[in-house]
Amino acid sequence: MSSPTIHFENTGRNFRGKWALRGMNATISPGTICGVLGANGAGKSTLLRLLAGWLPVSEGRILVDESPMRPTAIHLRRQAMLLDDATGPTKRENGASVQDLCDTIDNYQADRPGIENEVADWFEKLDVISVYKSRPGEMSKGQAYKIAMIGLFVTAPHVWLLDEPFSAGLDASGLRILEEQMAQHAAAGGIVLFSSQWPEHARRLADWALVLHEGSLEWSATPETLPTAKETPPSLQAVLQGLGPQ
């Protein structure tokens, strides 16, 4: 499959009678970095989890190159990878770093000659060689996130889904490398969606911004046209005022 286009078609997810996301319609083209913005509870993580195939939709659908994403569509799920905000702590409790990486490479059928060297290079670049042999629970949050990043970089699925990467405990060098890789991935035709509560992240990094408010898409536009809280119509003011620094 070449780089896919993603279509949200009236996508919705309901948890025990409450809609976390509803009526979502959007198209994301290959080569796009998309910032998903919204205050706490807006529906950002739900959107990313649905797109990763971690959860089934309750209504509508998400098409990845014409095929509906769903948890059992393993071939389609391999087109995307989600690093969520539990990536660090969960992995720290449940698995050793190198074993996690092997599992990721295996799950994404990405094994190839020389991949060990690529992994070793990333350990060095990301300054995590010291945790190479760490047992579960021995890594910091940022170190665990870096190990997950290595899995993303070496498997390189078409769609990168990063839930709150700016709160993942990365140091300046780790963040710079992640941002460089995001840009390179999009330049090569891939898609990156990241969530954030800060419009400045979208203005700095994204080609497109989706603003969610209480499970609804309130704004979909290029980040430069994202208004500041003072300039917005009343419906959007509440969204932007709930976000971080303008």
Ligand X SMILES: Nc1ncnc2c1ncn2[C@@H]1O[C@H](COP(=O)(O)OP(=O)(O)OP(=O)(O)O)[C@@H](O)[C@H]1O
The stretch among 36-44, 65-73, 112-120, 202-210 that binds ligand X (CB under 6 A) is: 36-44
Measured distance CA(190)–CA(211) in Å, rounded: 21
Residues 97-136 that bind ligand X (CB under 6 A): none
How far lies 207's CA from each of 49, 56, 59, in Å?
A: 21, 28, 28
Query: Which of residues 44 and 146 has its CB atom nearest to ligand X in the complex?
Result: 44
Residue 62 touches ligand X, criterion: CB under 6 A: no
Structure tokens at 134: 């760490």
In the list 38, 151, 165, 174, the residue contacting ligand X (rule: CB under 6 A) is 38
Which residue in the set 12, 35, 43, 157 belongs to the binding site for ligand X (CB under 6 A)? 43
Phi, psi torsion values for 127, nearest 5 degrees: 60, 45
| Residue 41 sits in the site that holds ligand X (CB under 6 A) | yes
Spatial distance between the Cα atoms of 20 and 193, rounded to a whole number of angstroms = 18
Quick one: which segment of 1-9, 39-47, 122-130, 219-227 binds ligand X (CB under 6 A)? 39-47
- Rule CB under 6 A: say whether 87 interacts with ligand X: no
- Applying CB under 6 A, does 11 fall inside the site for ligand X? no
> Would you say 15 or 132 has its CB closer to ligand X?
15
> Which residues make up the interface to ligand X (CB under 6 A)?
15-16, 20, 38, 40-46
